[in-house]
Structure 1
């Protein structure tokens, strides 16, 4: 049942304080929106997105390229089969590596399941570092380490994916409903039982969504890595 408060029934000083707070909050939000809009507008101007002349002059070239690309030429499709298999295998293997490692790292990088705040901080810094290095750079490093082939691409995709997948897994863990967790603890469940029966059932759908999305990303990235 909702409770309604009569602001007019409050003392004048308290009522004025509440109304002043609403006003300041509105102006603060308006200022934040203005700052974000200004930054976006400045970025668009800096990269030339606001230069209508350049954009309009490029339309004929885009139309020419689109016309030359149609219809597509499938005469050499036989030469695509092996690279397509390599791309598919690299994306699947890289995503599998990322998901397996992330299932462990995520619980260390989640605020409520990390064994110690220091471990939590180190895990988050490590994940940020993994996300900051492009998979192409990682691929070059692994080529120097293990040689040419699909393996360096798989390792690069997997390691880079751990940074993103673990972060989203950890965020999902931190936003679980506490009611089932508290109920399991009150029933005398061990930490592992709480994890298996109260946490994992809640985060499994999010884990699956993140894994599928990352596989789509890795499939695109593997076309370059391959």
Structure 2
């Protein structure tokens, strides 16, 4: 005699949808729990959950703020040249980054690179430059070429290549294939395809990335002065060493005003490129 075959329940379409929906909610819930666990662990390891330590530190911060008031702008004339140095450093570093990022960006994009070896080498260079902080590069270049703006420009420029080149490559990879295929069908060379099929599409994104990086480099160039690369950061470090907190507050306000002006100018330039 044949054994009776166990009957399996047949789910209707609504039941299948509910089952899939319930499974999806469980997966999302587990993912949220995992993210929360990682966040809580990170807060605990960094001391953010140490209430006693935070409670002791907050009054000290309050005392420091009161010592900064009122800001002392008595030496503002001495800050004009360092501010101009900081501005020049950020512009030169951004220009260096763009000049190096353009070829690396095309080599690091799958649709414009000549072969896989060039692609992997370009990606490796971008990852390497992006992984080294500009402050460390500044220390290295100060030791190599001496004090002044040159090590700051080299540090800002080379570190920026890692990020700018990555954004350039991603913009190139997302370029619409139709103009590229049309240019290739007309018998154009590889360089002509890049100039006429790719570059017109990605130029607005290139301009946006360049402006954003200039804003970042202006802020980062103030830190370069801490390692002897010149600029307004040198004045800030000097005031901190002398514990002249009113002057520190004045310098921070001046830097804030300059960053705001650079941001406004960057927004204006970006709007013109669109």
Q: Give the TM-score taking structure 2 as reference length.
A: 0.70
Show the counterpart of 2:206: 207
- Give yes or no for the alignment of 1:118 onto 2:122: no
Show the counterpart of 2:99: 100
**Mean Cα displacement is larger for which, 171-180 or 130-139?**
171-180
How many residue pairs align between the two structures? 215
- Give yes or no for the alignment of 1:197 onto 2:191: no
Unaligned runs of 5+ in 2: 1-9, 225-229, 231-274
Other structure's SS at 1:181 match: helix
Distance in structure 2 (CA, Å) of the matches to 1:179 and 1:52: 59
Larger Rg: 2
Give the Å deviation of 1:17.
6.5
- Do the aligned residues in 1 keep the contact of 2:112 with 2:194 (CA within 8 Å)? no
Query: Structure 1 residues 94 and 14 mapped into 2: Cα distance closer, same or farther (>3 Å)?
Result: farther
Distance in structure 2 (CA, Å) of the matches to 1:130 and 1:111: 20
Give the Å deviation of 1:65.
2.2
Show the counterpart of 1:173: 172
Give the Å deviation of 1:188.
5.1
> C-alpha deviations, 1:96-131, integer Å up to 9, x for none?
000111011100011221111121112111111111
Give the Å deviation of 1:74.
0.7
Give the Å deviation of 1:190.
4.3
Other structure's SS at 1:50 match: coil
Other structure's SS at 2:170 match: helix
Query: Structure 1 residues 14 and 167 mapped into 2: Cα distance closer, same or farther (>3 Å)?
Result: farther
Show the counterpart of 1:153: 152
Query: Structure 1 residues 187 and 25 mapped into 2: Cα distance closer, same or farther (>3 Å)?
Result: farther
